[in-house]
Structure 1
């Protein structure tokens, strides 16, 4: 069967079964994205004003967090140079003011929870319960209509309401997104692909603030969930991670006791102590989703530096190196599912078998292509509009390597007692935006898998 036929079949099957899933719990990060589409001349002027020597140092190596304007501009150049997404906490008030003065081109729903809630609840019509650190009027207005709920507690009683009905006026949590297209040039750097740098300029999400409703009523909230996705841990540091980690582990224990499969959506985490701590608790999750930068960062703290280097050496990413890294992570942590996504193809390593794993990846790839093509996907029927986007031709080489190494057929292979599933993606050459595509991929694949199984 051709990949186009497999795509069509996967979409039809997932759409037919989405209504059977039940409630999905999403925690912990939601914010407002202020998106700025970079202009090369403007960026060069800003770098020259601060001083090239100070800025270009950080284009080679990211700082732990952003403490001045030079580090901000250097981190943006790092993302452009590598074509990689990165997110850092902006600690400096003067730098936050600088970003606000720089301005934005549009405001959108942000944060992994916010993006996933709008997709799963607002597009797929699957009920979701979302943790929203601050329900400001602007934040609430960015949620789509549909079965999207936030917990509200009054007089000790829990109620689930749409964010627009929460009737609160809390703080705005703004993250600044600096987007650039493939081929974007600044100084001697040229972006090998479209991507963005994110400056997190709020004090709630970076510290993983967990609302009182979730602390006091989590058992009742968990009782309404059939699946859960946890995200937003990436900006934690060794100074502030212990308390939110303890609360997260408590939530995991409650969810696991109720047999609720939980997915961890990993994101680039600068602090090595936090990365090690995530590895230590990963076995309590059913699933984890990550890209090559994130997988390489995990291999580094596991002592697999050679493998980490291989993951970042080639384009497209070497699938044999990816598979080796996923196997090491699975063996170290016993996590049941590892979902790897990169530009051009996806892989999933699972300790269970079935073509539904591959088909869920195909559904996710179609959803991601629709988001890249349309910018905002308004209904699940709009997802099918991505069927005319061609399958990535460069993924053919990846598929051939997997077939030669592992005997893969039709995107499925057995390896060391695990199933390895593969999906070539549909690549939109000029996407309207890259923000939220990774969250679209991971949530669609995770939810799609349970819709099919």
Structure 2
């Protein structure tokens, strides 16, 4: 086994915390295929700029389009993401010609995408007792991308009864396929746009997210009636994909209709089991109106929340703290992230745990009376860094022993700095009612992929949290 004694000890300790076999979880709503293209040099970007016109692209770059309606929108937002090195996701206009334009790219690979898809496969591999994964649409190709394990099931209703079968046994022939185009880029790519000489500061990704009209973010009515029954079988749930809701659909339905449905889903799931812990995995949401609805209608029903620092900035800005939000987006200072986290937890007292994942650290904040110790919370975050490093290094986690690869990735060099910041913050009077715990990330020099790292971190930390909480409540 290619690992040192200390690393092996750490691996065994994480395996103890990796005992998810006492946890059953429900996941909804978003599953898709990720078509991934890797940009490895600036030449392709420069060719796009020359082909579509520098002046038009600069104009769009300054406009910052929040929806991809044509190729120039795409090029402008891609360049913006690459210049800042920040992860970004922008919805695509549901247009046949535009989809054909994107289909002309030469993609390097296709794999499972969507928060539910990525998390379901990961938790199944990590030996979670039961993973019930739901998506409103499930094509054959999508079903084939789920891992074929007995602990991963899809919920259906047959003859009026709830039936849990493998996804490959549950697909619908006529369901459409949702494809997101993922454009990964590495650090150090150089190109020019006007008088800007752009060098990508870090490896990251830009997502062009499809929003097919036939995809409606809801639990279908026959299954909706079974949500209380599902709730009795689970310990926790992760809800995600709200960024896929559209303001208006072809049949006249609006976001108001689907947010009402989403609220009903959460209430029904808890109807017969009030102990369920529910986590919201936030996402890049371009539409401010939709963001407000998620914050005002969905967040108050959650126990836990997971975000990256850009999403923290967007959320806190939407809550009215625009100056703080912009500081976080621009500088990513831990002190500002912690301040925003406290504001969020004070505004939403239903939240018992808030987790923020960034390139350099993962942080959690919870109330002082949380039954888990700071040592336990730290170990959960350590698990999350190992999961993320493994996925970044290998592209996918296919078995538990893969985590030994993540263990070979060292923590980044800012450990003492983060520890000092957290120690100083914890001494401040305004944080006396909270526990703040952070751990440095394990940085892969040349990641094979960055897509799904946040989902990997959040789901591992959340299920680890619920598992330890369950054990603590037994004592």
TM-score norm. by structure 1 comes to 0.92
Separation in 1 of the partners of 2:211 and 2:311?
A: 23
Task: Report matched runs for 1:38-49 at 5 Å.
Answer: 38=39, 39-49=41-51
Which residue of 1 is the match for residue 154 of structure 2?
A: 150
Q: What is the root-mean-square deviation in Å for CA atoms of aligned residues?
A: 2.3
Deviation per CA, 1:358-414: give whole Å up to 9, x if none: 211111111111111111111112113211211110243222222233249xxxx99
Which residue of 1 is the match for residue 267 of structure 2?
A: 253
Deviation per CA, 1:162-202: give whole Å up to 9, x if none: 11112532221111001101112232222111111111224
Separation in 2 of the partners of 1:328 and 1:423?
A: 21
Which residue of 1 is the match for residue 80 of structure 2?
A: 78
Please tell me whether residue 136 in structure 1 is matched to residue 139 in structure 2. Answer: yes
Separation in 2 of the partners of 1:414 and 1:423?
A: 22
Which residue of 1 is the match for residue 286 of structure 2?
A: 270
How far is 1:218 from its partner? 2.0
Separation in 1 of the partners of 2:215 and 2:337?
A: 29
Distance 1:109 1:236, change over 3 A: same
Separation in 2 of the partners of 1:56 and 1:235?
A: 28
Which residue of 2 is the match for residue 330 of structure 1?
A: 345
Please tell me whether residue 339 in structure 1 is matched to residue 339 in structure 2. Answer: no
Distance 1:126 1:75, change over 3 A: farther
How far is 1:61 from its partner? 5.1
SS of the aligned residue for 1:53 comes to helix
Does the CA-based 8 Å contact 1:122-1:145 persist in structure 2? no
How far is 1:4 from its partner? 7.2
Aligned residues: 443
Separation in 2 of the partners of 1:224 and 1:53?
A: 57
Which residue of 1 is the match for residue 3 of structure 2?
A: none
SS of the aligned residue for 1:312 comes to helix
From 422, 438, 450, the counterpart of 1:434 = 450
How far is 1:274 from its partner? 1.7
Which residue of 2 is the match for residue 215 of structure 1?
A: 224
Separation in 1 of the partners of 2:96 and 2:45?
A: 21
How far is 1:74 from its partner? 1.0
SS of the aligned residue for 1:20 comes to coil
Please tell me whether residue 19 in structure 1 is matched to residue 21 in structure 2. Answer: yes
Separation in 1 of the partners of 2:10 and 2:228?
A: 38
Distance 1:57 1:152, change over 3 A: same
Deviation per CA, 1:122-164: give whole Å up to 9, x if none: 3434411111232222111111121111112222222111111
Does the CA-based 8 Å contact 1:358-1:421 persist in structure 2? yes
Separation in 1 of the partners of 2:145 and 2:46?
A: 33
Separation in 1 of the partners of 2:257 and 2:418?
A: 42
Runs of 4+ in 1 over 4 A off after TM superposition: 3-10, 204-207
Does the CA-based 8 Å contact 2:88-2:207 persist in structure 1? yes
Does the CA-based 8 Å contact 1:210-1:244 persist in structure 2? no
